[in-house]
Structure 1
Amino acid sequence: MAMSGGRDDGEPMMEMNTTPLIDVMLVLLIMFIITIPVATHAINIDLPAPSPPTNVPPPDPIINKVVLTPDNQILWNGNAISIAELRFQLQQTLNFPVEPELQFEPEAQASYELSAQVLNVIKNEGITKFGFVGNERYRSFGKE
């Protein structure tokens, strides 16, 4: 008893019955349509209004600058000092309520040995706010 209108020669049918597949797809489509509005519901919560913090520390008012010159001088904010005076100045900056920033700027022909010595002093004194300044001038080093 074949359902097709053709002949029944005992061979299997080559066409797939797509009716159950379409039924399943329609059921899934209806399920998605029903569940999507549930996912878009929002719960409104009244949050407190933000207020600026009242105890913000002021920005660093002092910036100390250490410059190394080609003639092996150490300049602290423009004044020539020795290694011992540099240690003393660094110890004084640690006594401030907020540690000031220390900027290190060796000039182009400054001694590498002096640079290493000054950096060791800065490290040994426990300075935490430290930065290299003026390095962008040497961006094209060796390309001239």
Structure 2
Amino acid sequence: MTRAVRARRIPDTAPIGAINITPLIDVMLVLLVVIIIAIPIASHKVPVDLPAGRGTPVPLPPAVLAIDRQGALHWNGAALADAALPERLAALQKSGAVLHLQTDPEARYERFDRILATVKRAGITRLGFVGNRPLED
């Protein structure tokens, strides 16, 4: 004799008490990536030389080195020989004054490049470029 198998009726299932943490892990990983990307940007620093001390010293007037269209040099309006330029730049570097470099737009770029290389070799760090206007003769 065979016995008939009777199916039992399962009562309604109870709600599951566990939380699906997969979305939570996904959100946490995205936040971690965002933080890893944002930290180097937030910690980037630009070094700036700021004056220290109570009183601010009176700044020296800037020295103007001009190159005219023929390539001749002028230091504060007076003609200057190429051989005297390194000596003037060394004195300027010791004093800490600013150098303004003014070049006539018609001057040759090679001449400007050689003068700029001389300025760099002299250790001048405070340099400004003055407008693109022709020099008055």
TM-score w.r.t. length of structure 1 = 0.52
CA distance in 1, matches of 2:92, 2:116: 16
Residue number among 97, 115, 119 corresponding to 1:118 in the alignment: 115
Structure 2 residue 71 is matched with structure 1 residue 67:
no
**Any stretches of 5+ residues in structure 2 without a counterpart?**
1-51
Structure-2 change in CA distance of 1:54 and 1:71 (3 Å)? closer
Could you report, residue by residue, the CA deviation over 1:40-59 in whole angstroms, capped at 9, with x for unpaired residues?
xxxxxxxxxxxxx9722324
Residue correspondences, number: 83
Alignment of 1:23-62 (within 5 A): 55-62=54-61
* Aligned match of 2:35: none
Q: How well do the aligned residues superpose, as a CA RMSD in angstroms? A: 2.0
What letter corresponds to residue 128 of structure 2 in structure 1?
G
Q: Tell me which structure has the larger Cα radius of gyration.
A: 1
Q: How far off is 1:69 after superposition?
A: 0.5
1:67 match: secondary structure: strand
Structure 2 residue 131 is matched with structure 1 residue 134:
yes
**Any stretches of 5+ residues in structure 1 without a counterpart?**
1-52, 139-144
CA distance in 2, matches of 1:68, 1:91: 19
1:115 match: secondary structure: helix
Structure-2 change in CA distance of 1:116 and 1:56 (3 Å)? same
Structure 2 residue 97 is matched with structure 1 residue 100:
yes
CA distance in 2, matches of 1:94, 1:102: 9
CA distance in 1, matches of 2:106, 2:79: 17
* Aligned match of 1:90: 89
What letter corresponds to residue 115 of structure 1 in structure 2?
F
Identity value in percent: 28
